[in-house]
Structure 1
């Protein structure tokens, strides 16, 4: 399947490593002009280096609505948005009674509010051109439970899936599709590496046994799904959630 993004401008959030980096590099390889953002300056620099200097990077806290509006306003029109920024922000699973308001809000800010703010800022230009793609990166935790046991993470990712479906119906009349990729467990960043090693050999074996393919995936597997949703090949697909998890 020949996928080409020549002439398209793409914004990828959370692009300093893992899924975001793989997605940004895939778009750049397929001809797009790519803007990659994150709060990790060192990681962003490495993403840009891997892209041969063709990927433009900037620091952005997606949970800051004003910063998002200003940044996207400076680079629009954006044709394709990939809302990948997320994660657990250093938190670990704890009993519900131990969760502070700050802990709860911190995870929602990046995983759900950020998706809303970035989409909100990009949509007016998409509407004007009657074309656009929004691809949200959720998690298997949004469809079931979180392996980490972090209540806010499972809730925010489930909320992001709901937002995907709602925006698909709102934006469809303007030629804008909104879809969601829900990755399974992939060793893609420092947090997932820590989780993998914390499982121990027995836990790792149990995780693999519950995957139909009996192996872990890679960030490129997620990037491949995003390439499809963002392409013309998926022009009549919207509001969908694609689990990329090796089979459950």
Structure 2
């Protein structure tokens, strides 16, 4: 069991973030369950962790706003202790083509998917650096490296930014004992993905992905949570600036040449 570990998981009220919060708590970390809108769902996650003997709290914050993020980090440290693990899971999916592109929706998505990573990292770096220890894990996507599911070009662009920030922040924060890595999920069954598709449309997408995946199935939130836990572990101090694809072995990447 991990000791003296405090994890802040953004967007942790449902889906992948929820699974990550439970996974880290099971390993002994106290967890701050961040949410933007779903207070009831976040409380259920925190209550579940406490019922299992863990320590947890909830914190409302808009990761696209630095002042809000800084207040959340201060609140977490006051209740649970210094943040040693930051998981940047909060994200939005806006699908469009060049013909249907909407600047406002893209800017809103980028504000969460990219600016959110910058704000949270800025908010925890000083405390982690003072202690000479930290684990930061960013959730990107295999879309960032060329998965061909239609309509995801602009989403992929924000996730590619997240991947680049992962490597650059690893370089900047490494001398202070802070590792920065990324997990790039493939197509995962979550409220967000299933909520946008219904009936035959969902089954068609699921079949499309299964047929292009070595493992022959779509992902579950726990698949991603296990990878995050590996990178968050105290023993994983010599792994940094990496992006781990957790996609079941997808075979439909764009390629040149």
TM-score by length of 2: 0.88
Gapped runs of 5+ residues in structure 1? none
CA distance in 2 between partners of 1:94 and 1:216 (Å): 23
| Equivalent residue, structure 2, for 1:15 | 12
Matched, 1:38 2:38: no
SS in structure 1 of the partner of residue 50 of structure 2: coil
Change (3 A) 1:222 1:196: farther
Counterpart CA distance in 2 for 1:33 and 1:200 is 36
Alignment of 1:197-236 (within 5 A): 197=199, 199-236=201-238
1:170 Cα shift? 0.8
Pick closer, same or farther for the CA change 1:141–1:230 going to 2, 3 Å.
Answer: same
Deviations 1:117-162 (Å, cap 9, x if unpaired)? 0011001000000110000011111111463514331111000000
- Output the TM-score relative to the length of structure 1: 0.91
Deviation at 1:197, TM superposition (A): 4.3
Q: Distance in 1 between matches of 2:194 and 2:88?
A: 19
Equivalent residue for 2:85, pick from 76, 80, 83: 80
Alpha-carbon distance between aligned partners in 2 of 1:147 and 1:197, rounded to the nearest angstrom: 19
Contact 2:194 2:202 (C-alpha < 8 Å) held by counterparts: no
In structure 1, C-alpha distance between the alignment counterparts of 2:13 and 2:6, rounded to whole Å:
18
Correspondence for 2:56: 55
Aligned partners of 1:48 and 1:178: how far apart in 2?
Answer: 25
User: What is the alpha-carbon distance in structure 1 between the residues aligned to residue 100 and residue 123 of structure 2?
Assistant: 35
In 1, Cα distance between equivalents of 2:247 and 2:43: 29
Secondary structure of 1:237's aligned partner = coil
> What CA distance in whole angstroms lies between the structure 1 residues aligned with 2:211 and 2:198?
14
Q: Report the more deviating stretch, 45-54 or 18-27.
A: 45-54
**Structure 2 residue aligned with 1:238, among 228, 236, 240?**
240
Q: Give the gaps of 5 or more residues in structure 2.
A: 251-257
How far does residue 96 in structure 1 lie from its aligned partner after superposition? 2.1
Which residue of structure 1 aligns with residue 65 of structure 2? 64
